[in-house]
């Protein structure tokens, strides 16, 4: 079966985020970018499915400007077979990405779509669910284990009461959780080989998809800095401060 993996270009998880002076957005000037960590897990899982002989081809897709190709090449170096860059210079919201992926699933006849459960920049946790709804496909979210059995894929997902196993009929959508796997590192030979792997470029217009933003960012501000705590001498003093200063009692 053919597996489609969606990846997103985000600020590296180890970088301290800065807000622009005019509070219009996050300052990305001279900031290291990387594949979203949850998307790395999705790529790793798709490659493992191919190594087990379950998947015949792994196609990675990213939506954004030309800079996304750097992350696509990284995914190719990790072991993906092909890359598809859906080029657009506008801000694409989760609904727009879901529509784009649905068009690609139909065009490429993909049987399984694997995505990270959320991106670390916006933390929306929406694209996978929207894709499943638009494409009328079953979904297994927050997957901590994936097993393919014939025309089904069995997903173990973490819920409040423990673990839940669900069987999905293909084609299906899976979103990955942190404990699904440990992503590999790209070796230098594979990085060199990735330069020769096919990277196609298309656009939302060519896919007949409208990705016009429906939301407007009003203001971006840094979170309030945490104030230093104080030490109280008794329970009575603690209760008094919770009443008078914190206002929680």
Per-residue model confidence as pLDDT tens digits over 35-83? 999 999 999 999 999 999 999 999 999 999 999 999 999 999 999 999 9
- Strands 139-149 and 152-159 turn out to be antiparallel
What percent of the chain stands above pLDDT 70? 100
Burial 140-168 (b: 16+ CB within 10 A, else e): bbbbbbbebeeeebebbbbeeeeeeebeb
pLDDT at position 75 is 95
Nearest to 82 by CA among 176, 188, 182, 201: 201
- The answer to whether residue 248 scores a pLDDT higher than 80 is no
- The answer to whether residue 162 scores a pLDDT higher than 90 is no
User: Within a 10 A sphere around the Cβ of 114, how many other Cβ atoms?
Assistant: 31
pLDDT at position 225 is 83
pLDDT at position 139 is 95
pLDDT at position 172 is 95
pLDDT at position 47 is 96
What percent of the chain stands above pLDDT 90? 67
User: Six-digit token pair at 96?
Assistant: 């727009």
What is the C-alpha separation between 100 and 94, in angstroms, rounded?
10
Nearest to 11 by CA among 29, 27, 32, 25: 32
| Averaged pLDDT for residues 205-215 | 92
What is the C-alpha separation between 135 and 6, in angstroms, rounded?
15
């Amino acid at each position: 079966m053919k597996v489609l993996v969606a990846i997103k270009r985000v600020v590296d998880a180890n970088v301290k985020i800065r807000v622009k002076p005019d509070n219009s957005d996050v300052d990305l000037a001279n900031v290291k970018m990387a594949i979203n960590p949850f998307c790395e897990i999705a790529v790793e899982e798709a490659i493992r499915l191919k190594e087990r002989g379950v998947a015949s081809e792994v196609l990675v897709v990213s939506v954004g400007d030309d800079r996304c190709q750097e992350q696509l090449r990284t995914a190719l170096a990790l072991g993906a077979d092909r890359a598809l860059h859906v080029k657009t210079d506008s801000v694409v919201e989760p609904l727009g990405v879901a529509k784009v992926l649905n068009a690609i699933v139909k065009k490429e006849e993909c049987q399984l779509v694997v995505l990270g459960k959320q991106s670390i920049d916006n933390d929306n946790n929406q694209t996978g669910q929207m894709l499943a709804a638009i494409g009328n496909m079953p979904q297994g979210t927050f997957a901590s284990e994936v097993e393919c059995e014939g025309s089904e894929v069995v997903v173990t997902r973490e819920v409040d009461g423990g673990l839940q196993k669900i069987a999905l009929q293909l084609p299906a959508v899976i979103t990955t959780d942190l404990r699904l796997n440990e992503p590999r590192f790209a070796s230098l030979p594979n990085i060199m080989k990735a330069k020769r792997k096919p990277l196609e470029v298309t656009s939302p217009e060519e896919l007949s998809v409208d990705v016009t933003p429906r939301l407007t960012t009003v203001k971006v501000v840094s979170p309030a800095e945490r104030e230093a705590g104080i030490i109280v001498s008794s329970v009575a003093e603690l209760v008094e401060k919770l009443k008078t200063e914190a206002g929680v009692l």
